[in-house]
Amino acid sequence: MECGLVWLDPMPVEEDIGKAYLNYHTHGQGSEPVRTQIRRVGRAVKSNYLSFKYGYSCGLRRPFNFVIGLMMYLLPGVRANVNHGACHLSARRGGRLLDIGCGSGELLNGMRRLGWEAEGTDSDPKAVEIARGKSLKVHLCGTPAELQLASGTFDAVVMSHVIEHLSDPLALLRESHRLLNPGGSLWLRLLPWIFTIYLTWSPWHYSGQNYGLFMMFARRAGADPDKAGRRALYGAFVVSYLILFLGFHTDRKSVV
């Protein structure tokens, strides 16, 4: 059956895959951007957008947060980045969140600032060291299954650009489902279809981050979208690339 999935052939050996991360981008310490007046205004717009859109207590009270936050709709690329920075999750008092493959903790730190009781996992010792240097709770492990956590531990499990780095992504999805409490949220972020060309020189990816990967998961889960559904999904991947392209110029250090 043709699904459009792109994968590395031959596959990396699991025992050696860590060598590809010796100089990975998550090893950078990063630095806070210079606080200019324009950046302050931008942060205020982001905060008020998150306040009225997702209910976080980082902006003004209604209706002022709504009025200021509406400015975000003038910049669809920026708004997409802000939504990704919040994992599209509504505020949840006392909510527990697990960031799988958190790297140096950029996304994890942002979710903590938004009020989540957030912790993460990563298999890269250097990235974990940097994340812990930010006072983040991060476990050094290959997968969350190694931690033997109780079922229903978290209200949200998030993964940003992680699935394509795994030799057995379905096992991780099953473990993520087990860790979620009833009504919990699983959030995944993938790059759009066009970035499968990245595989021609990327040593980190087992499979392409594309429409074909989505279809593989859907079919293994027992779903098989019809022709109209496949066209709609493919169109969504194309549109997501265009939105992402518009947002490349923005600052993605944090969401608040």
Are 196 and 87 part of one and the same domain? yes
Give residue 122's pLDDT: 93
**CA pair distance 243, 76, nearest whole angstrom:** 7
Span 201-218, average pLDDT: 57
User: Predicted confidence band at 207 (pLDDT cuts at 50, 70, 90)?
Assistant: low
Are 134 and 241 part of one and the same domain? yes
Burial class (CB in 10 A: 0-12, 13-18, 19+), 52: buried
Are 86 and 164 part of one and the same domain? yes
Are 66 and 118 part of one and the same domain? no
Residue 20 resides in a domain = no
Number of domains in the chain: 2
Residue 3 resides in a domain = no
Contacts of 124 (CB under 8 A, 6+ apart): 18, 21, 24, 26, 27, 103
Range with the largest mean pLDDT of 4-13, 18-27, 170-179? 170-179
pTM for this entry: 0.73
Are 191 and 205 part of one and the same domain? yes
Residue 8 resides in a domain = no
Are 66 and 125 part of one and the same domain? no
Give residue 250's pLDDT: 41
Are 50 and 86 part of one and the same domain? no
Residue 99 resides in a domain = yes
Are 111 and 59 part of one and the same domain? no
User: Predicted confidence band at 203 (pLDDT cuts at 50, 70, 90)?
Assistant: very low
Q: Is the model more confident about 140 or about 41? A: 140
**CA pair distance 210, 79, nearest whole angstrom:** 22
User: Predicted confidence band at 213 (pLDDT cuts at 50, 70, 90)?
Assistant: low
Span 111-127, average pLDDT: 94
pLDDT in tens, 226-239: 787 777 767 766 66
Residue 92 C-alpha from the chain's centroid: 18
Are 112 and 150 part of one and the same domain? yes
Are 103 and 167 part of one and the same domain? yes
Q: Average per-residue pLDDT in the chain?
A: 77
Q: Is the model more confident about 12 or about 186? A: 186
H and E: helices and strands count for the chain: 8, 5
Residue 100 resides in a domain = yes
Burial class (CB in 10 A: 0-12, 13-18, 19+), 19: exposed
Are 179 and 145 part of one and the same domain? yes
In the chain, the percentage of residues whose pLDDT exceeds 90 is 36
Residue 19 resides in a domain = no
**CA pair distance 73, 80, nearest whole angstrom:** 10
CATH label of the domain that carries residue 123: 3.40.50.150
Are 141 and 167 part of one and the same domain? yes
Q: Is the model more confident about 52 or about 119? A: 119
pLDDT in tens, 20-45: 666 665 666 655 555 677 888 888 89
State the CB neighbour count (10 A cutoff) for residue 233.
Answer: 14
Residue 157, domain extent: 75-246
Domain boundary residue, one of 25, 45, 74? 74
Span 172-176, average pLDDT: 88
Residue 14 resides in a domain = no
3-state class (DSSP) for residue 126: helix
User: Predicted confidence band at 99 (pLDDT cuts at 50, 70, 90)?
Assistant: very high
Span 151-158, average pLDDT: 96
User: Predicted confidence band at 163 (pLDDT cuts at 50, 70, 90)?
Assistant: confident
